Amino acid sequence: MTQPNHFPTLRAFVVMAALGGMVLGGTLLGDTVLAAQGPGPGGMRGRGPGGPGGRGASIALRALDLTEAQREQVRQLTEQHREQTRTLAERVRAAGEAQREAMQAASFNEQQVRATAQAFAEVQTELAVQQARLWSDIYGLLTTDQQQQLARMQAEREARQTERQERMQQRRQGQQRP
């Protein structure tokens, strides 16, 4: 009698979680850029509050009250980075798919799993660098006051996140007690 193999499902979950993290990071960055650009002539065009990813980091740039000149510079930077970011995002998707296939193959091939995992990590790194470069360029457009305000908002967001994590941990501990 063979036992069911739940490991590929777990591996797929891990791969999807990593890929989801990259997508979320990209969404937040894109959300930030869209917020800096403003709604545009057609409004939000169905993107919902805060842009395509929800509120995310866009609220931070909106709260900074960018000047029209800053918004235009953000638009230009975004346009300069757009094609490379799209290409990298597609490569992340393809590399994640290749890794998933290697991990779920009928027969285990360690070299294939290692090679696809390495390729996935490399393209994730490239995308992270691209996103960091764009954010750095945008950050450089901010005045000192805007940078300080952004730092305060980020600290507040991190404090809220820590509080949520602590509440979740307390709930888990309460559920574990008989």
Residues 108-126: tens digit of each pLDDT = 999 999 999 999 999 999 9
Give the H/E segment covering residue 174: helix 144-176
The dihedral sign for the CA sequence 68, 70, 73, 77 = negative
With respect to residue 1, please indicate whether it lies within any of the assigned structural domains.
no
Most confident listed range (28-32, 46-50, 52-56, 82-86): 82-86
130 and 177 together in one domain: no
Contact 63, 153 (CB under 8 A): yes
| pLDDT greater than 50 at residue 131 | yes
Which domain covers residue 20, as residue numbers? 7-142
**What is d(CA 69, CA 36) in angstroms, rounded to the nearest whole number?**
11
14 and 91 together in one domain: yes
Number of domains in the chain: 2
| pLDDT greater than 50 at residue 22 | no
106 and 158 together in one domain: no
Residue (of 69, 1, 64, 8) closest to 35 by Cα position: 64
Residue 178 banded pLDDT, cuts 50, 70, 90? low
152 and 117 together in one domain: no
Contact 105, 70 (CB under 8 A): no
SS3 38: coil
pLDDT of residue 58: 57
Residues 75-107 pLDDT 10s:
999 899 999 999 999 999 999 999 999 999 999
**What is d(CA 176, CA 124) in angstroms, rounded to the nearest whole number?**
37
57 and 104 together in one domain: yes
